[in-house]
Chain A
Amino acid sequence: MTAQATLIWLLKIVADTVGQLSFKAAANISEENWFSHWRAMLSDKWMWAGIGSYVVEFFLWLALLSLVPLSLAVLLASFNILTITLGGRLVFKEKLTPRRCIAITLIAFGVALVGWA
């Protein structure tokens, strides 16, 4: 991978992680019924942070795809499983079970092999 493609991939992973964590923060708002839940979510800043991240990610993904093969890009994009799992641990104190540690370690090694082979 070229330096440009690597940088775009890193930014894509950041945008993805920020987006998912933002959506999770917005989804955590608890309201009585469906309507008030959605109204509260749509007026929440994290919802819009999530949508903004997704728009950024859309452009980064298209840019990445025009630089590297699709097969490579989808495999490298799996790295988001690791960053989102760790982000969930840091931000929301989600459980990091031994099984999840094994899973994200496997994914990290897999992505490393795909990217730098």
Chain B
Amino acid sequence: MRRFYLIGFLILLCFDTFTQVGFKIGAIHTAPPGFDWAWVQRLLIEKWIYFAILGYLGVFVTYLTLLRHAPVGPVHAASHLEVVTTSVASVLLLGEKLTYIQILGGALIVAGVLVLAIGSPTKREGISSA
């Protein structure tokens, strides 16, 4: 069962990271964001946005499958660990740079997420923010 969670969780992170990288590439292709009809038209014909939406469907299915077997607290909190994989992917794949102070900020965010994951709500309390 541990293995099931671990693999499911890794698949979730992969889908999540792919989705965000896809949105980023789509956003680069459709810049600048004019909030006008021309911008919306560019968004509608951008293929990476559709790839990202497909990735999002993968996230959704994986998340619900995990929720079926695991309590909501840890799953929801742990799903926020996408910030780590997405940041790493941005640096490796997109050539972005983070300063040391930003990495420290990221570490504090992850620490916060882990504190939430450990102190998870009971099943009875249900989904509070998922």
Which of B33, B104, B105, B129 is within 8 Å of A66, CB to CB?
B33
B residues in contact with A88, CB < 8 Å: 128-129
A9 to B72, CA, bound (A): 27
Interface residues on B, range: 35 or more
| Residue in B closest to A80 when the chains form the complex, CB atoms | B129
Q: Does A14 reach chain B (CB closer than 8 Å)? A: no
Q: How far is the CB of A30 from chain B (nearest CB, A)?
A: 12
By a beta-carbon cutoff of 8 Å, the part of chain A in contact with chain B is 8, 20, 24, 27, 59, 61-67, 69-75, 77-78, 81, 84-85, 88, 92, 94-95, 97, 99-100, 102-107, 109-115, 117
Can you name 25 A-B residue pairings with CB atoms under 8 Å?
A: A27-B127, A59-B35, A59-B40, A62-B33, A62-B43, A63-B33, A64-B27, A65-B27, A69-B90, A69-B97, A70-B86, A75-B106, A75-B109, A77-B83, A78-B83, A78-B113, A81-B129, A88-B129, A99-B118, A105-B112, A107-B112, A110-B110, A112-B105, A113-B101, A117-B99
Nearest 7 CB-CB pairings of A with B? A113-B105, A110-B108, A106-B112, A63-B33, A65-B27, A110-B109, A99-B119
